Structure 1
C-alpha cells in the first residue's frame, strides 16, 4: 500500500533501523535516532543497488516519488542512476575548480608560446589582473553577462573608457578560449556590445608643418639630455619605426655594411620580420651612438642597467622636456609625419609607404597579391626622406 504523509509522521523510531515501503523500490529508512532517509532499491547489470534520495521531511513524499521516477527513466535508457549521479558530481566539482583565473592564465600561456611580444603580454597580464577578485575566483562556466558588466562598470566609472573597452575584449578572448577547450558554453561579453561608453578615437599627435618639423629637428640637435636619447629621437624621425621596435633594438640586428636594419618578427606588431633601409644619415647616427652604447647589447640601454632597454617613457619625456605637449607630438607621431610627407609628395607608391611603415594590407584578396617589400623604391625613399629632413633643419636654422 502506498505511503501517505500522515503514515510517515506517525512512524516511531525503534531499537533497530526499519523500512516502510511506498512502491517501485522506494522506501523510507527509519533509524533509532529518529532520522528518516529516502532510499531507492533498483537492479542494474544483474546487480541489486541502492540510491540515496535525501532526508524526510526536507525531501517530501512527492519529491521522493519524482526522484524515483527520474531514476526509472534513466534505467529505461540503460543508464545506472547511481553512476550518473557520480558523474554529475565530478562534473560539478570540475566546473568549480576551473575558474576564470585558471583559464585566463592558461590562455596567456598559450599566447606566450605563440611568440606574442613581451609588451603585449605585459598589457594583457595587467588587464587580466583587473578581474580580481570579482571574476578570477568564479567558475568560468557560471559567469553571466551581468557579472561581467558589474566589473566593467567599476572600471568605466574611473573615466578610463579605452581600458574598459580593452578589458571587455580581453575577457571575451578568455571566454572564447574556454568555449574552445570545453570549459564554457557561451561568451557573456557578446551581449555587452553597445552597453559601454565608447572611447573617443584619438590620432597620435604629430607635427605635419614643414617649418615646425625643421624647428623640432633643431631642438633635437640641441637636446642636452642623454646622448642615446638624442640619437633615438633622430632615428625615430629618419626611419619612422614604432617606438617599441627602436627602443628594444639590439646591435646584432644592424648590418651597417649592407645599410639594413632587420627587425625580428617577435618584436613586430604584425608578427612578421621587417627590413629597414638605412640612409647615410642613419648610419652616421649609429656610428656616433656606438661610441656611447656599443658595449651593451641594446642600442638604447637603460640608464640604470645596460642589460635592460630604455624605458618606454623616455622618448616622450624628452619631447616634453623640449617644450612639446602630448597634443603636439608623441614618439609614435613621427610615423604619421613620415607617412604624410611621403604620400603628399606624389613621388612614391602608396604600397611602398605602407610597407616602410610595416603595415599589413587589410583586404585579404589584395594582400594575396601585394607581397613584395618594394625594397628598391624604399631605399630611394629613405634617402629622399633623410635629405628632406636635412633641408628642413637647414631652412629652420636660417629663419
Structure 2
C-alpha cells in the first residue's frame, strides 16, 4: 500500500509490535508504545539488514522517502548504507628518498654489479644529502643545476657521472609515471663543463710503452692491484669494471668466464662471456693468494677493487711521497701520467684498434669486446668464436710484449 500522512496518523498503538510495508523494502514499524519508525529492509550479499530512517512524525514521510531512495541506490551498487564511511587517507608524499630506494632495487636486479655499486655510491653521496625529503614532483631544472654546479667546479668528470646516474633515475621514474619530467635532460647546455668529452682516444705505440714501463717501475703510482688491473684491460680488451670485479672462480685454465650479472649489456643478452687469457694475461693475474675471492680485492678484501679506482689513479696529480700500499712511495707526477688526457676505457678501445691493425676481422673484434650482434645475425648466428678469440688475443699479447720490450721513444 502507498503511505500517506492521513494513513500514518490514523494508526493506533497495537497490543504487540508489527510492521507495515509499502514496497521495495520501505517499511513502517509500529510499537505498542505508539512509536512509529520508518525502516528500510534489504538483502545484501545474502544477508538481511534493517536500516532505521527516523521516527514519525519527527521525520516526515517525504524525508523518510528521500533517505530510503539514497540507501536503495547504495544497495543497488553493492554498498551497505550502514557501513562505516571510509575516510580517504591523504597519500604520503613520494619523496626523492622513495625514488632512490626503488631505483637502487632496480639497478641491483637489472644492471651489472659494478654499475649497481657505483649507482648506490653516487646517489648516497650526492643526491640523498641534498634532496632526501623533497617531493619528486618538486624537483625542477634549477634544482638539478644547483646540485651539479658545485661538483662541476671541482671535478667536471665526477659531475658528469652524477648527472648521468641522476638522469637515468628520473628516466626510470618517468617510465613508471612516478615523475612528470626529467630535470636532468640536456643539462650540459646549462652546465657546459659537463659536456661529454671525446671518446675516440686511443694510445699510440709510444704511449703504450710509456704506460707499461711506468706501471712496472719501482715507484709506480697506485697499488699493485690497480696497476695490474689497468694493464689487464689493455691485454684482454674487457671493460674496466668487469676486470676489477674478476673472481678466482671465474678463471678456469686459460679461460675467464664473465657471468651475465657482471656484464654491462646483460639486459640484452642473458649470456656469459668467455675471454681467452694469454700467458701475458695470466702473469698479470698471478697466483691465487687465497685471502680473497677477488683477483683484485679492495681494501676490505671482501669486496672487489672499485672501477673508479683505476680512473682515479690515471687522472690524479701526485705531488710525491704518497704511499702506494706496497711499502713504496709515488714520485711527483702530472695527471694522466703526463700524457694527453686518457681513461682506462681508452685502453679497451686501443686494443680493439690494434687488433684491427694486426688484421683481425671486425666480427672477431666484436666477439672479443662482447658487443651484441646486430639484427638477424644476432638471432641466428650463435657462434661464440672461442677458437678465433684465442688466436687473436694470443697474437695481440705477443705483439704487445714485443712492443713494450723496445726502447721508449
| 2:144 counterpart residue number | 152
Counterparts of residues 310-325 of structure 1 (less than 5 Å): 310-319=305-314, 323=333, 325=335
Deviation at 1:290, TM superposition (A): 1.6
Quickly say closer, same or farther: Cα 1:282–1:123, change in 2 above 3 A.
Answer: closer
**CA offsets 1:233-270 (integer angstroms, 9 cap, x no match):** 332221122222121212221112xx111112221111
Paired residue secondary structure (2:146): helix
**CA offsets 1:71-103 (integer angstroms, 9 cap, x no match):** 98x95995679899955x43x53x326555335
Quickly say closer, same or farther: Cα 1:231–1:192, change in 2 above 3 A.
Answer: closer
Gap runs ≥5 in structure 1: 1-42, 51-67
In the comparison of the two structures, how many residue pairs are matched? 316
Q: Judge conservation of contact 2:245–2:296 (CA < 8 Å) in 1.
A: yes
Quickly say closer, same or farther: Cα 1:194–1:221, change in 2 above 3 A.
Answer: closer
Counterparts of residues 161-172 of structure 1 (less than 5 Å): 163-172=162-171
Q: Judge conservation of contact 1:240–1:357 (CA < 8 Å) in 2.
A: yes
| 1:280 counterpart residue number | 279
2:239 to 230, 242, 245: 242
Counterparts of residues 100-179 of structure 1 (less than 5 Å): 101-112=97-108, 114=109, 116-126=111-121, 128-129=123-124, 132=128, 137=133, 143=137, 147-158=139-150, 159=152, 160=159, 163-177=162-176, 179=177
Q: Judge conservation of contact 1:75–1:81 (CA < 8 Å) in 2.
A: no
> C-alpha distance in 2, partners of 1:127/1:108?
11
Quickly say closer, same or farther: Cα 1:223–1:265, change in 2 above 3 A.
Answer: farther
2:205 to 196, 206, 210: 210
Counterparts of residues 320-331 of structure 1 (less than 5 Å): 323=333, 325-326=335-336, 327-331=340-344
| 1:341 counterpart residue number | 354
| 1:262 counterpart residue number | 257
2:385 to 374, 382, 397: 374
Deviation at 1:352, TM superposition (A): 1.2
CA RMSD in angstroms comes to: 4.1
Deviation at 1:172, TM superposition (A): 2.8
Gap runs ≥5 in structure 2: 1-39, 43-49, 55-65, 153-158, 317-329
The TM-score with structure 1 as length reference comes to 0.64
> C-alpha distance in 2, partners of 1:124/1:81?
50
| 1:231 counterpart residue number | 228
> C-alpha distance in 1, partners of 2:377/2:142?
42
Q: Judge conservation of contact 1:103–1:174 (CA < 8 Å) in 2.
A: yes
| 1:305 counterpart residue number | 300
> C-alpha distance in 2, partners of 1:83/1:244?
63
Paired residue secondary structure (1:105): helix
Quickly say closer, same or farther: Cα 1:238–1:197, change in 2 above 3 A.
Answer: same
| 2:371 counterpart residue number | 359
Q: Judge conservation of contact 2:74–2:81 (CA < 8 Å) in 1.
A: no
Paired residue secondary structure (2:197): coil
Deviation at 1:311, TM superposition (A): 4.3
Deviation at 1:110, TM superposition (A): 4.3
Counterparts of residues 283-298 of structure 1 (less than 5 Å): 283-286=282-285, 289-290=286-287, 293-298=289-294
| 1:200 counterpart residue number | 195
Q: Judge conservation of contact 1:290–1:299 (CA < 8 Å) in 2.
A: no
> C-alpha distance in 2, partners of 1:209/1:243?
19
Deviation at 1:305, TM superposition (A): 3.4
